[in-house]
Amino acid sequence: MAYLNRTTKQWQEIDTKHHLHPFTDYKSLAEEGSIIVTKADGVHLTTSDDKQLLDAMSGLWCVNVGYGRKNLAEVAYKQMQELPYYNSFFKTATPPSIELARELAELSPNDLNHAFFSSSGSEANDTVVRMVRRYWDLKGKPNKKTFISREFAYHGSTMTGMSLGGMTAMHAQGDLMPGFEHVLPPYWYKYGNEMSHEDFGIFAANKIEEKINEIGADNVAAFIGEPIQGAGGVIIPPDSYWPRVQEICNQYDILLVVDEVICGFGRTGNWFGSDTYNIKPDIITMAKGITSGYIPLSGIMIGDSVSDTIINEGGEFYHGYTYSGHPVACAVSLENLKIIKEENLIEQSRQVSIYLEQQMREIEKHPLVGEVRMKSFIGAVELVKDKEKMEMFEDTGVVGTICRDYCIENGLVMRAVRDGMIFCPPLIFNNSHVDELCEKLKKSLDQTHNHISKS
């Protein structure tokens, strides 16, 4: 491929001139230039300058089976030759989409037996809002429209995803749509430090009940939450949180939607975050790990009571995407799920996470670190101003960014959310990858500590 002959500098220039990146400050990117990633294998990335980086983020929380899986490429190649595309609109379907729906019905929790496919997490959550509102319409409760979510929630970046999400900086660009409310997240380190974890879990869940009472249960369609809030900074709820949320949703006749886009497909040590927290959702959203990022695919799984209503009482549901159930994406997903199963990646990663946690407890002793929180293969290292007083930095995000940049310099990809350093490694991480991660992180923390002590 001719374009592979360009120098890094040439690519950076063209990139700046013609390419607007997602979630990017364009002026500062133009000054610094992009890091151009050209290859990857296993858990390591290679840049156009031939630098090796350990990817402790699984790309963007998605490359669960690691890079360089030839099987996935071969399945895509074969499916493209056999049938590159056909849709599932009206009354057609393709074998991979049917097989994947069956497989997901098997793997997913509770009575989630029907799949509706799309290509991104944002689209899938758009389907959630349309389907849930349709459901309540058909139930004769057309006023049940409002979705309750949490601050720092991330549910995508379309108008619906942004409105479901709880990022105030996103709401300020493009206007939060009406019908979306946000309550306190179960973020103990930031909001709960007078209370025990368990008391705070109940306190945070009860904020949902307060919100329901404020707007009236007759107006509330659903509560939506990630089992562990990912992009919001890996907020791990106390164990008391989800059982209380479930109780509230049942009591007030509100659907419970669990966004499994990050937690699904092994991330938390089970197939779904709902399994880890024993949640019985009415609907789940899936994306990212469903194909390990090799090709775009997303979907929702719908529980029997909702699907019965939509199927039997609804007539035509006017919703769907050109690429819903795309045969190539579904074939890749099936192969990806097969790899996770055959290589026992969920059990294996859960084992490795015990070692990872031991090493992270050492990192937790660092003077910059307020707490390490984690669940199997997702976690955060919270950087703080004063470890003893549990005081966070006033100028949120500055120190996190400094540390993130040192990590990159040291050959490690972690992400900074505010001042939390996030890890979300591929499920194939082994003990020596854990050592590499923790060594590089420790060095970066020391450099960050020095850097801010001087300034």
Using CA atoms, how far residue 299 sits from 6, 105, 296, 326, 334, in Å, is 38, 12, 11, 11, 14
Instruction: Output 67 or 152, the one with its CB closest to ligand PLP.
Output: 152
Q: Would you give the binding string for ligand PLP spanning residues 138-157, x where CB under 6 A is met?
A: ----------------xxx-
**129 near ligand PLP, rule: CB under 6 A:** no
Binding span for ligand PLP by CB under 6 A among 7-15, 133-141, 226-234, 394-402: 226-234
Pick one of 245, 261, 380, 381: the residue that binds ligand PLP (CB under 6 A): 261
Contact by Cβ (8 Å): 374, 380: yes
Instruction: Output 123 or 209, the one with its CB closest to ligand PLP.
Output: 123
Give just the sign of the alpha carbon dihedral 15, 17, 21, 27: positive
**230 near ligand PLP, rule: CB under 6 A:** yes
**CA-based end-to-end distance of the chain:** 47
Pick one of 54, 221, 231, 356: the residue that binds ligand PLP (CB under 6 A): 231
| Tokens found for residue 251 | 């009591």
**234 near ligand PLP, rule: CB under 6 A:** no
Q: How many residues bind ligand PLP (CB under 6 A)?
A: 16
Residue 454 Cβ vs ligand PLP, minimum distance, rounded to whole Å = 36
Dihedral-angle region of residue 418 (phi above 0 means left; psi in -120 to 50 means alpha; beta otherwise): left
**335 near ligand PLP, rule: CB under 6 A:** no
E-strand ranges in 58-145 read 112-118
State which residue has the least CB distance to ligand PLP. 121
Pick one of 59, 66, 96, 121: the residue that binds ligand PLP (CB under 6 A): 121
Pick one of 118, 122, 127, 276: the residue that binds ligand PLP (CB under 6 A): 122
Q: Work out the angle between the directed axes of helices 431-454 and 345-363 (0-180°, nearest 10).
A: 30
Site for ligand PLP in 348-377 (CB under 6 A): none
| Tokens found for residue 141 | 């409760």
Binding span for ligand PLP by CB under 6 A among 257-265, 300-308, 315-323, 362-370: 257-265
**226 near ligand PLP, rule: CB under 6 A:** yes
Cα-Cα-Cα-Cα dihedral of 145, 280, 88, 97, to 10°?
A: 160
Indicate the SS3 state at residue 189: helix
Binding span for ligand PLP by CB under 6 A among 256-264, 337-345, 364-372, 404-412: 256-264
**326 near ligand PLP, rule: CB under 6 A:** no
> Exposed/middle/buried for 352, CB within 10 Å: 0-12, 13-18, 19+?
buried
For 363-371, the CB contacts below 8 A with 24+ separation are 363/438, 363/441, 363/442, 363/445, 366/442, 366/445, 366/446, 366/449, 367/449, 368/399, 368/403, 368/445, 368/448, 368/449, 369/445, 370/189, 371/189
Q: How many helices (H) and strands (E) does the chain have?
A: 17, 15
Binding span for ligand PLP by CB under 6 A among 44-52, 97-105, 259-267, 419-427: 259-267
Q: Would you give the binding string for ligand PLP spanning residues 157-196, x where CB under 6 A is met?
A: ----x-----------------------------------
Instruction: Output 122 or 376, the one with its CB closest to ligand PLP.
Output: 122
Q: Would you give the binding string for ligand PLP spanning residues 84-113, x where CB under 6 A is met?
A: ------------------------------
Contact by Cβ (8 Å): 229, 150: yes
Determine the length of the chain: 455
E-strand ranges in 161-225 read 180-183, 220-225
Instruction: Output 288 or 404, the one with its CB closest to ligand PLP.
Output: 288
Binding span for ligand PLP by CB under 6 A among 29-37, 117-125, 234-242, 388-396: 117-125
Binding span for ligand PLP by CB under 6 A among 120-128, 201-209, 349-357, 390-398: 120-128
Q: Specify the DSSP element, H or E, that contains 412.
A: strand 412-413
- The residues binding ligand PLP (CB under 6 A) are 61, 120-122, 125, 154-156, 161, 226, 230-231, 259, 261-262, 287
